[in-house]
Chain A
Amino acid sequence: MLAEAARAGDHAAFAGLVRMHQQRAYLVARSIVTIHEDAEDALQEGFVRAFQALDRFDTSQAFGAWLNRIVANAALDLARRRKVRTAEELSDALHTPFRDPGEAAELRERLADALAELPERARSVIVMHDVEGFTHVEIGEMLGIPGGTARSDLHHARQKLRGLLNDLRD
């Protein structure tokens, strides 16, 4: 098992874990800090913390879930240190204009604006749940909130997103 080998000091095994989990962990970090560069910082910091804490990892648990909690903590720490981002900055950060140009680009722009308007935690919850499929309990563990709060945040985030995108329904 890679985690056990990594715990024994095998760097190649840890690199295997990075390869296996980095995409999902990146999304966890990005859902919290929103800005790509900050997500990369948080992701790297999260992996370093995980490596340093490997001797405390219970190998009977899923490594990915353990790692994602560490990455989420690193992202939350980073978000606390960063200044508050404006909705415009966040909207810019979520634009990906060079992908899929055309009609989808305009939709994406509207959605990015709408996401930027959401409260920070609601945005994290909706991305973690609807995009990555984390459960309310998992999201609660990562964000340090009860699972019920994550569920309620998700409901309100969807409602708010619907409201912000309401004109697109006509």
Chain B
Amino acid sequence: MTKELNFPDPSDRNSADRDALNEPAIQLIRDAYMPPASAAESAAYWSSLEDRIMARVVTSGNAQLDGRFWSVFDGWAQAGLAAAVAIFAIAGFVNQRLPELEPQYAYETVMAPTPEALAGPADLILATDRSAQSDAALRYVLSH
């Protein structure tokens, strides 16, 4: 069993490669490193591998074409372009929401009582004597 893997006497080899493995050992290594397919299937295996390689090459070629417009910008230009797109998106969103917010703001402005509007009745309530109450009532009526 062991004969095939015997290594030749190094002195038999030429000086350039005197410790080379013998041919049976090399053949065994070659077999071990071949794809796991029988010899009969070998041609079919390589053909299918070629197809898979070419499918990937074509896919990558298309992806490269798709990405080409983007790749003409260098790093900083890409970052600037991305920032500009983000700013436009935010501005667009705000612009879209503004008409909805405007009536609500106007309504709240009109309906919310101002401090001046509350000052009259408060003076009226807080006035201690009759003349002060009359003055406060007159100021409130005149202010409305």
Contact = CB atoms under 8 A, between A and B. Distances in A.
Interface in A97-129: 98-100, 103-104, 106-108, 110-112, 115, 126-127
B60 interface: yes
A81 B36 CA distance: 24
Given A22-B50, A26-B35, A96-B32, A106 B26 contact: no
B2 A168 contact: yes
Contacts of A18: 50, 53-54, 57
Interface residues of B, number: 34
A31 B56 contact: no
Interface stretch (A36-44, A56-64, A138-146): A36-44
Interface stretch (B3-11, B69-77, B93-101, B106-114): B3-11
Contacts of A1: none
A104 B26 CA distance: 13
User: Chain A at the B interface: mostly helix, strand, loop or mixed?
Assistant: helix
Contact of A51 (B1, B26, B57): B57
A95 interface: yes
A84 B122 CA distance: 84
A98 B26 CA distance: 19
A51 B62 CA distance: 12
B21 interface: yes
A102 to B, nearest CB: 10
Contacts, number: 111
A96 B37 CA distance: 9
A75 to B, nearest CB: 13
B28 A107 contact: yes
B102 interface: no
A132 to B, nearest CB: 9
B1 A107 contact: yes
21 contacts: A11-B54, A22-B50, A22-B53, A36-B35, A44-B53, A48-B53, A48-B57, A96-B32, A99-B38, A99-B39, A100-B31, A103-B1, A107-B5, A126-B21, A127-B33, A130-B26, A130-B29, A159-B19, A165-B7, A168-B6, A170-B2
Interface of A: 11, 14-15, 18-19, 22-23, 26-27, 30-31, 36, 39-40, 43-44, 47-48, 51-52, 94-96, 98-100, 103-104, 106-108, 110-112, 115, 126-127, 130-131, 155, 158-159, 161-162, 165, 168-170
Given A36-B36, A44-B53, A107-B4, 18 more contacts: A18-B50, A18-B57, A27-B34, A48-B53, A48-B60, A52-B60, A100-B31, A104-B4, A106-B1, A107-B5, A107-B28, A108-B32, A111-B5, A111-B32, A115-B29, A165-B5, A168-B6, A169-B6
